[in-house]
Amino acid sequence: MHWNVIPENIDLLLEGTWLTIEISALALLFSIPIGVFIGLCRVARNRVIANLAIGYIEFIRGVPLLVILLWIYFVLGRFLKLGSYWSAILGLSLFSAAFIAEIVRAGIQSVPRGQMEAARSSGMTYAQAMRFIIFPQAIRKVLPPMASQFIILIKDSSLVSVISVVDLTLVAKNLVATSFVALEIWTFVALLYFCLTFSLSQLIGLLERKYKVLE
Amino acid sequence: MIQVNQVSKSFGHQQVLKAINLTVPKSHVYAIIGPSGAGKSTLIRTMNALESIQAGEILIDGISVHDKKTDINKLRADVGFVFQSFNLYPHLTTVENVAIAPIQVKKVPKKEAEEKARELLSSLGLGEKFASYPGQLSGGQQQRVAIARALAMDPKLMLFDEPTSALDPEMIKEVLDAIRKLAASGMTMVVVTHEMGFAREICDQIVFMADGKIVEVAPPEQFFSNPQSERAKDFLAKVLQH
């Protein structure tokens, strides 16, 4: 066993971990508003808007994340001078947003129609009804699937290594290539990923309990 | 106060409202009764544009409800609507349920709106339920909260869509009493109901609907003792025999 490869390279590994956290957190931050926006478009009564949202969701869901990342890095990224770091964040955000949009749609549609009718019949606008009546109820229902989506996002972020973002996965890959110590490094990396996702799911568990109490 | 002129509506190929005409004067109480599928609920829902119409028009205080130029939110703020299934907001307390529309729509200060909500709830016998959530209340209590919620907007007109149909029998009275009190206060009301005794007692006119049409409009004594149409006779024979 060559476990000493871990402490010897702990700086590199932690740097990679930090970059993974950074990219995942930023992608999460961007994908929530984009996803909520597309989810709202998806349930809009305007058919054109709804169909545009459906088109986006279907397209993104139908293309592998790896291909999206490569396309953004080599095509859009070249064109917009994005660089690998922002290409990675953009790719992850756009990809995750499609799934968040579907979760938001399901959440909104899980609120009985009578709630919107009651709110509208009291003179509230569509936006007011959404904000004060539909959203607060939908959020309780969407927290568990959102948690899964965020965890998937962290795990998917390992794919950004292909566009040469030096995240945890790429650090590990490079270390294995130079030290030939595969088992120890990949085991340690797996544990690190698990620590990240598990802390996040615990955090969302806390949120869920907070909203439950209110009911 | 309400004028329904030649209103028609279809769901797909099925015409549910066929050239409906009806006038409800101020401070009058009208009951809409009739067999299920007659279009009663659809008609009352068109009165605040919860349902669209394909032809005709509905005027409330001279304002056309379905005109694209009408500010529908402003109009709805003056029309209270009570649903068969209450539709209270489950994430809000009773006081918040009642106060939210005045706060958001009429911009009443929160404190003032909640004070008024407590008064309304107390007057409906819910003085001990201020902090309760709808899920903790019985059906009858929930429907009274829904009535308070509608009244909090100081409506000119109240519409009730089968307000007691989802209630257990022992809870019907408390809700009907609340509506009775409102009628006595001079509120203009339209009530879709299956409670014949109640309709007979508090309503100025009975509107009998069948097959998407208004078949008969008459004062209760006349309607219940001497209905003119065959359809009404047939209906009354069925509902009054038990």
Residue A215 has pLDDT above 60, yes or no: no
Instruction: Print the domain residue range for B125.
Output: 88-155
In a domain? residue B176: no
- Is the pLDDT assigned to residue B216 strictly greater than 70? yes
Residue B107 lies in a domain: yes
ipTM reported for the complex, 2 dp = 0.92
Q: Which CA distances in Å does A152 have to A65, A145, A166, A184? A: 12, 11, 19, 24
Residue A38 is predicted with a pLDDT of 97
Contacts of A143 in chain B (CB under 8 A): none
Gap between the Cα atoms of A150 and A200, Å rounded: 8
Of the listed ranges A12-21, A36-45, A202-211, B193-202, the one predicted with least confidence:
A202-211
Asked whether the beta carbons of residue B76 and residue A132 sit closer than 8 angstroms, the reply is no
Q: Convert the pLDDT of each residue in B77-116 to its tens digit.
A: 999 999 999 999 999 999 999 999 999 999 999 999 999 9
Model confidence at A161: pLDDT above 60? yes
pLDDT score of A214: 52
Report the CATH number that the domain containing residue A27 is assigned in CATH. Answer: 1.10.3720.10
Q: What's the rounded mean pLDDT across residues B169-180?
A: 91
Residue-number span of the structural domain to which A85 is assigned = 5-213
Rounded CA-CA distance B92/B80 in Å is 19
Percent of chain B with pLDDT over 90: 90
Please indicate if any CB of chain A lies within 8 Å of the CB of B136: no
> Count of domains in chain A?
1
**pLDDT on residue B94:** 96
Residue B57 lies in a domain: no
B232 occurs within a structural domain = no
For the entire predicted model, the pTM comes to: 0.85
Average pLDDT, chain A: 92
Count of domains observed in chain B: 1
What's residue B106's pLDDT?
Answer: 95
In a domain, B188, yes or no: no
Q: What is the pLDDT of residue B205?
A: 95
pLDDT tens readout for residues A10-49: 999 999 999 999 999 999 999 999 999 999 999 998 999 9
Decide if B141 contacts B126 (C-beta within 8 A).
yes
Whether residue B87 lies within 8 A of chain A, CB to CB, comes out as: yes
- The 10s digit of each residue's pLDDT in A175-195 is 999 999 899 999 999 999 999
Do B105 and A132 lie within an 8 Å CB cutoff? no
Contacts of A179 by beta carbon, 8 Å cutoff, 6+ apart: A2, A5, A9, A185
> Considering only alpha carbons, which residue of chain A is nearest residue B85?
A114
Which of helix, strand or coil describes residue B4? Answer: strand
Confidence of residue A208 (pLDDT cuts 50, 70, 90): confident
> Has residue B239 got a pLDDT over 90?
no
From the CA of B148, how many Å to the nearest CA of chain A?
12
Kindly tell me if the per-residue pLDDT of B231 is higher than 60: yes
Q: Is residue B167 part of a domain?
A: no
- pLDDT value of residue B19: 94
